[in-house]
A = this chain, B = another copy of it.
Amino acid sequence: MSTRERLLEATQELLWERGYVGMSPKAIQREAGAGQGSMYHHFAGKHDLALAAIRRTAERMRAAADADLSGPGTAADRIGAYLRREREVLRGCPVGRLTQDPDVIADPELRRPVDELFDWLRTRLSEVVAEGVRAGELDAALDPEDTAAAIAAAVQGGYVLARAAQSAEPFEHAVRGALGLIRTKS
């Protein structure tokens, strides 16, 4: 792995674990096994490195969610696949956790990839719900935008509940509860 790559991966991990507020350039260099000079050769500083790392983490999350939501099967199958996907529940969401980071939220550049990811996710979920309603597969009373937000929120809030309990159980309950929204008509 190139030094640039190691610096990026170390920053992605540290942002996930400690957030921007809790991440020092020293810790990045230590995790990446790179010197200060080499870090500043590849990136202008902590901000520049964090921006590249957040963009990359958000891209990966988007690709993973899209694989579920644009895969085969009915609307309920695809939303079910998204909700049930295996996750590192106790680590929390690497993108969602950044919304609790005051220095990310206060910085429009760092916040943009976070905002764009969740905006995309809600839009995509909403399209799949609308498809299911049109196909007569899902309850016609479901508002696609509201249902999409509730599904995305169940996952993000599931992480919050699981980290509080230090157990994946509340996450699994939240996901099963949210599946109730897309119960196919009997």
Query: Which residues on the B side are within 8 Å of A151 (C-beta)?
Result: 177
State the copy count for this chain: 2
A102 CB–B CB distance under 8 Å: yes
On whether the beta carbons of A118 and B161 are closer than 8 Å, the reply is yes
User: How far, in whole Å, are A80 and B49 apart by their CA atoms in the complex?
Assistant: 43
Query: Which residues on the B side are within 8 Å of A18 (C-beta)?
Result: 21, 102
Query: Which residues on the B side are within 8 Å of A152 (C-beta)?
Result: 157, 161, 174
Interface SS of A by simple majority: helix
A32 CB–B CB distance under 8 Å: no
Task: Digitize A86-111: 1 where CB-to-B-CB distance is under 8 Å, 0 elsewhere.
Answer: 00000011001101111101000001
Query: Which residues on the B side are within 8 Å of A156 (C-beta)?
Result: 153, 156-157, 160-161
A70 to chain B, nearest CB (A): 21
